[in-house]
């Protein structure tokens, strides 16, 4: 288990990148390169990460490969393929995207998002991405979301079985699964279910927190880890129990100081459990 987060600068020099990641106290990092990087640069960063014992956690392929706009859909699928190819070359734990949306907003809600037809389209799309790239060192994953599959441990397990590809894995963002007061107050049980059902497939996790606000109707807000209701000790114990070295990646904060506070909280919770990050 390794903690990581974003670095706020761009780096052409892999040694400078390693130094910045280490200065933040991280042992995992987001991929510092884009899919159009040349092979020499990719190999230089791969060697630098390996020498420094840094795990490149994920390559983001953020796009809408099930968009109702055909041009956007095709461009997104191509972006996913190129991102997965980069993840495989650089040895990242995974390439991650959301499934997309039937909305024109790439990550937005839509009444068709939970239809059987959308489920099938996700299956076909993920298979196409994996089958063309044929990765051997990484996995393609879908981040859990509140309003598109996979929106629960059970729906993720259904996707794993339906897609039926060794190179398809799990990206766990537990906060994104907390979409109701019921899940908020019972997130300990939800976390246990995630690790029980999905544990062998989990490749990377996102670390944030969520707070239920006391106003109608229901308002759930992302907050800095430690300021919400997520049971972080159960989350960390679950990640530590996994059969591989899985990164926990901070995201969606605004400043370096917020990331420092978030990392300090997670490290303190891990220390209380006798776990290292």
pLDDT in tens, 67-114: 999 999 999 999 999 999 999 999 999 999 999 999 999 999 999 999
| pLDDT recorded at residue 174 | 98
- Cα gap 11→183, rounded to integer Å: 40
Q: Which residues contact 219 (CB under 8 A, 6 or more apart)?
A: 212, 213
- Residue 66 structure tokens: 């099930």
Q: What is the mean pLDDT of residues 155-166?
A: 98
- Residue 80 structure tokens: 């996913």
Instruction: Tell whether omega for the bond before 217 is within 30 degrees of 0, i.e. cis.
Output: yes
CA distances for 101 relative to 67, 74, 191, angstroms: 6, 14, 25
- Residue 165 structure tokens: 């590809």
| pLDDT recorded at residue 10 | 82
Domain residue extents for the chain:
2-272
pLDDT in tens, 188-213: 999 999 999 999 999 999 999 999 99
Sign of CA dihedral 177, 178, 179, 185: positive
- Cα gap 156→161, rounded to integer Å: 9
Question: For 2-272, CATH number?
Answer: 3.20.20.150
Q: What is the mean pLDDT of residues 139-161?
A: 98
| pLDDT exceeds cutoff 90 at 9 | no
Q: What is the mean pLDDT of residues 131-138?
A: 98
- Residue 170 structure tokens: 């799990």
pTM to 2 decimals?
0.96
């Amino acid at each position: 288990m390794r903690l990581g987060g974003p670095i706020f600068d761009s780096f052409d020099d892999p040694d400078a990148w390693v130094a910045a990641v280490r200065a933040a106290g991280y042992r995992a990092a987001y991929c510092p390169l884009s899919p159009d990087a040349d092979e020499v640069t990719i190999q230089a960063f791969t060697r630098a990460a390996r020498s420094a014992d840094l795990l490149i956690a994920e390559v983001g392929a953020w796009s809408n490969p099930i968009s109702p706009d055909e041009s956007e859909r095709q461009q997104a699928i191509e972006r996913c393929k190129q991102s997965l190819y980069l993840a495989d070359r650089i040895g990242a734990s995974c390439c991650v995207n959301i499934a997309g949306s039937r909305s024109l907003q790439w990550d937005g809600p839509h009444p068709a998002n939970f239809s059987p037809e959308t489920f099938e389209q996700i299956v076909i799309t993920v298979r196409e991405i994996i089958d063309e790239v044929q990765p051997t060192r990484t996995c393609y994953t879908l981040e859990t979301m509140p309003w598109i599959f996979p929106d629960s441990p059970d729906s993720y397990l259904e996707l794993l079985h339906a897609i039926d590809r060794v190179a398809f894995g799990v990206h766990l963002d537990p906060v994104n699964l907390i979409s109701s007061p019921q899940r908020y107050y019972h997130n300990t049980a939800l976390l246990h279910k995630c690790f029980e059902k999905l544990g062998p497939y989990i490749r990377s996790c996102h670390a944030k927190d969520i707070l239920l606000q006391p106003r109608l109707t229901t308002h759930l807000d992302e907050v800095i880890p430690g300021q919400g209701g997520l049971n972080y000790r159960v989350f960390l114990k679950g990640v530590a129990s996994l059969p591989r070295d899985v990164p926990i990646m901070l995201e969606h904060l605004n400043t370096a100081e917020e990331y420092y506070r978030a990392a300090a909280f997670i490290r303190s919770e891990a220390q209380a459990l006798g776990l290292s990050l």
